[in-house]
Structure 1
Amino acid sequence: MEDAGERSNYCENTSDCEEDRGSDNDFETSKLGTKEYWEEMYQKELETFKDIGDVGEIWFGEESMSRVLGWMQTAKIPENAAILDIGTGNGAFLVELAKHGFKNLTGVDYSPASVELARNVLQTECLSDITVKEVDFLNCNRELKEFDVCIDKGTFDAISLNPNNSKEAKKLYVQALRDALKENGFFSITSCNWTKEQLLQRFNEGFEFVQELPTPRFQFGGKTGNSVTALIFKRVH
């Protein structure tokens, strides 16, 4: 499968330069925001993994994982911290977290094929002590709670494209995130659809901005922008 690099293939609604992206308005709806799309995609990746052992695409590329792992090291996140990977996909980030010594890991996804794929990948890596669950993050009824760190690489982007009331879905996401995190817990988000300013606006209630992680910048037509935004927040009252 083609490498996503620093942009996932569902970033179709972003403009070329950061300053051209407007306020926190809804994007046009897209099949990329539907459960059916992701189930079909992960079913194909699952079949490919069983056939040839290819784990599939790493959203935003390996650099996106290294970026967050670097922050975790600098922030001295303890190895026993409870970490939640929201929209775990093929579980690739769970594997990297485990390789870096983190021991209390959970991945969730609403796609059954994704969960089966992630479990197969983890089994291949002999990582049997990582929890992967089929959970709709927007409707988990506080099943997910007491996490020290929550990580999102593209899930909020996909939710933003949901044809079925994306405004409500985004509100549900923020509430579910507040419920999942401990007070003073951290939230790491990587997005290609939202700018720093838009994410600060979206997560301005119950969260405190900590820092922006550096991402590649580009120039086009005399303008400079980022193709990816990566931010860290802290859960507060």
Structure 2
Amino acid sequence: MAEAGESSHGCENSSDSEEDRCSDNDFETSKLGTREYWEETYQKELDTFTDIGDVGEIWFGEESMSRVLRWMDKAKIPESAAILDIGTGNGAFLVELANHGYRNLTGIDYSPASIQLARQVLQAEDLTDVTVKEMDFLNSQGKLKGFDVCIDKGTFDAISLNPDNTKEGKKLYVQALKAALKDNGFFSITSCNWTKEQLLERFGEGFEFVQELPTPSFKFGGKTGNSVTALIFKRVH
């Protein structure tokens, strides 16, 4: 189990110059963006869970889930809201959402081992009415729609690291998100590779910025910054 603080797992933004930070290719591609990497990772976590019941790492730590849940409480997201967990991984966030009272939950991931692990984790928590599907979000248009809330903790980061067709993948992600969300539906994204300004630009068309969620800050060289960015958007036309 990951520590409760922020995890940097999957964060590979290494650009330094202002020009790099404003470009579409802000960091080197990585194996962290490949399907093979995640299938191997979740197969190991599945084996570990089967052996000792450890669900594995929670992307960005437990605080990242609590942060989104606090926003959902303040935004008065109803317990009946249709919620999509994009790149559900081990399903840990689905468990937290269910324990928080949300009843209409769906998690997707393109890794078969991830989905198998998530199902076992949910079953162990006696949460048999949560839907999990093996699905590539980038090719999901027409298959996912009508969601009130879509949540992403690191999936857009991983897509941005894919060595193949990175630029196209980011465009497909935005298209799939537009198709999945209802009008005025909310999108919560947590990223360690993209700044607030970059995410505002990426999701500038078809989305309205709602708010930035507070994340831990650090000081270095007299400057204050954040290693993780968490934003809320609303789907608009």
For each residue in 1:112-150, what CA deviation from the matched residue of structure 2 results, as whole angstroms up to 9, or x when unmatched?
Answer: 000000000000000000000000000113200000000
Secondary structure at the aligned position of 1:232 is classed as strand
Following superposition of structure 1 onto structure 2, how do residues 120-159 of structure 1 map, counting pairs within 5 Å? 120-159=120-159
Compute the displacement of 1:169 (Å): 0.1
- Highest relative contact order (Cα 8 Å, sep 6+), 1 or 2? 1
User: What is the match of residue 112 of structure 2?
Assistant: 112
User: What is the match of residue 179 of structure 1?
Assistant: 179
Q: Which amino acid aligns with 1:75?
A: A
User: What is the match of residue 170 of structure 1?
Assistant: 170
**What is the aligned residue count?**
236
Q: 1:2 to 1:181 in 2, by over 3 A?
A: closer
User: What is the match of residue 41 of structure 1?
Assistant: 41
Q: 1:3 to 1:40 in 2, by over 3 A?
A: farther
Q: Confirm or deny: 8 A CA contact 2:42 2:89 kept in the other structure.
A: yes
User: What is the match of residue 25 of structure 1?
Assistant: 24
Secondary structure at the aligned position of 1:234 is classed as strand
Runs of 4+ in structure 1 displaced over 3 angstroms? 1-5, 18-21
Aligned sequence identity (%): 79
Which structure 1 residue ranges, 5 or more long, are not aligned? none
Q: 1:214 to 1:113 in 2, by over 3 A?
A: same
For each residue in 1:134-188, what CA deviation from the matched residue of structure 2 results, as whole angstroms up to 9, or x when unmatched?
Answer: 0000011320000000000000000000000100000000000000000000000
Q: 1:190 to 1:24 in 2, by over 3 A?
A: farther
Aligned partners of 2:20 and 2:33: how far apart in 1?
Answer: 19
Compute the displacement of 1:14 (Å): 4.2
RMSD: 1.7
Using the size of structure 2 for normalisation, the TM-score is: 0.96
Aligned partners of 1:150 and 1:139: how far apart in 2?
Answer: 16
Q: 1:175 to 1:139 in 2, by over 3 A?
A: same
Q: 1:21 to 1:123 in 2, by over 3 A?
A: farther
Q: Confirm or deny: 8 A CA contact 1:5 1:59 kept in the other structure.
A: no
The alignment status of 1:215 with 2:215, answered yes or no, reads yes
Q: 1:186 to 1:209 in 2, by over 3 A?
A: same
Aligned partners of 1:19 and 1:79: how far apart in 2?
Answer: 43
Q: Confirm or deny: 8 A CA contact 1:86 1:137 kept in the other structure.
A: yes
Secondary structure at the aligned position of 2:21 is classed as coil
Secondary structure at the aligned position of 1:95 is classed as helix
User: What is the match of residue 65 of structure 1?
Assistant: 65
Q: Confirm or deny: 8 A CA contact 2:141 2:179 kept in the other structure.
A: no
Q: Which amino acid aligns with 2:21?
A: G
Q: Which amino acid aligns with 1:174?
A: V
Q: 1:41 to 1:58 in 2, by over 3 A?
A: same
Q: Confirm or deny: 8 A CA contact 1:14 1:192 kept in the other structure.
A: no
Aligned partners of 2:23 and 2:107: how far apart in 1?
Answer: 28
Compute the displacement of 1:19 (Å): 7.5
User: What is the match of residue 227 of structure 2?
Assistant: 227
Aligned partners of 2:114 and 2:97: how far apart in 1?
Answer: 18
The alignment status of 1:9 with 2:37, answered yes or no, reads no
Q: Confirm or deny: 8 A CA contact 1:45 1:117 kept in the other structure.
A: yes
Aligned partners of 1:222 and 1:112: how far apart in 2?
Answer: 46
Aligned partners of 2:218 and 2:52: how far apart in 1?
Answer: 36
For each residue in 1:60-109, what CA deviation from the matched residue of structure 2 results, as whole angstroms up to 9, or x when unmatched?
Answer: 00100000000000000000000000000000000000000000000000
Aligned partners of 2:20 and 2:106: how far apart in 1?
Answer: 33
Aligned partners of 1:20 and 1:60: how far apart in 2?
Answer: 27
